[in-house]
Amino acid sequence: MELTASLEDYLKAIWLIGQRDRVVRVRDVAKFLGVRMASVIGALKGLVEKNLVVHERYGYIELTPQGTLMAQEIYEKHRTLFQFFHQMLGVNPEIAEQDACRLEHHISRETLERFLKFIQFVEDCPEGEPLWLTSFHYFARTGKRPEHCLKGGKEMEEMPTIKELKPGEKGKVLRLKGKGEVKRRLLDMGIVPGTEIQVEKVSPLGDPVDVLVKGYHLSLRKEEAELVLIERQ
């Protein structure tokens, strides 16, 4: 069923108010959307005709089962778009909210599913925020490219590691080299991309290296410290 953007806004508003309050009145919808009560009544007539809303004169507003499903789908689009704009792209939440409101009426189900899969992929990453996303957020915030992106990007082997930091120096974790149990051990210790790490002490022979991560004092073997690629702070 096709609805105008305006009717979709009313449908979503009714559902959202119903999640918050026990009943939904015309004046509640008018206040929520910042419109006149006469406008709400006009919109309700259209929604009633499409069997999406039940509303008796001067009575409460209720969504039909079909209306509830459609309202939830509209809200899902809005929430997904907002999450992508704000969390993935770093857009100001107020602007992200406005843009989500505009685009939720036009995005296709196929594109929405791709947005959802993208967000899920990033959030489920076992290494935390991926390096490329961390780098993008830094660039969007400062207008400067991270150290590893300068001059077309450095090879992984050329990036500094924890082992190269001196006591008192800090760095932000960009990536972990290696694989298997060693890499998993580092991840379990909280050494994930985007995390700030500070070297506290280095033994005379360089093994072990004592570091501070998220308030925890950890001791890394030399070979482990060489696997943690960082950006100097």
Confidence (pLDDT) at 126: 58
| Residue that wins the pLDDT comparison between 135 and 45 | 45
Which residues are CB-contacts of 27 (< 8 A; sequence separation ≥ 6)? Answer: 37
* Domain 156-232: CATH superfamily, name plus number: Ferrous iron transport protein A (FeoA) (2.30.30.90)
Phi, psi dihedrals of residue 185, rounded to the nearest 5°: -65, -40
Q: Measured at the alpha carbon of residue 19, what is the angle toward residues 18 and 23, in degrees to the nearest 5? A: 30
User: Whose CA is closest to 200, among 215, 210, 186, 213?
Assistant: 210
**pLDDT class for 127, splitting at 50, 70, 90?**
low
- Average pLDDT of every residue of the chain: 85
pLDDT 10s digits, 153-195: 445 556 788 888 888 888 888 878 776 777 777 887 788 877 8
Q: Is the pLDDT of residue 10 over 90?
A: yes
**pLDDT class for 97, splitting at 50, 70, 90?**
very high
The architecture (CATH level 2) of 1-124 comes to: Orthogonal Bundle (1.10)
The residue-averaged pLDDT of 30-42 equals 94
Put simply, whether the predicted model's pTM sits higher than 0.95 gets the answer no
Confidence (pLDDT) at 230: 84
SS3 content of the chain, % helix, strand, coil (to 5): 55, 15, 30
Confidence (pLDDT) at 153: 46
In the chain, ranges of CATH 2.30.30.90 domains: 156-232
In the chain, ranges of CATH 1.10.10.10 domains: 1-124
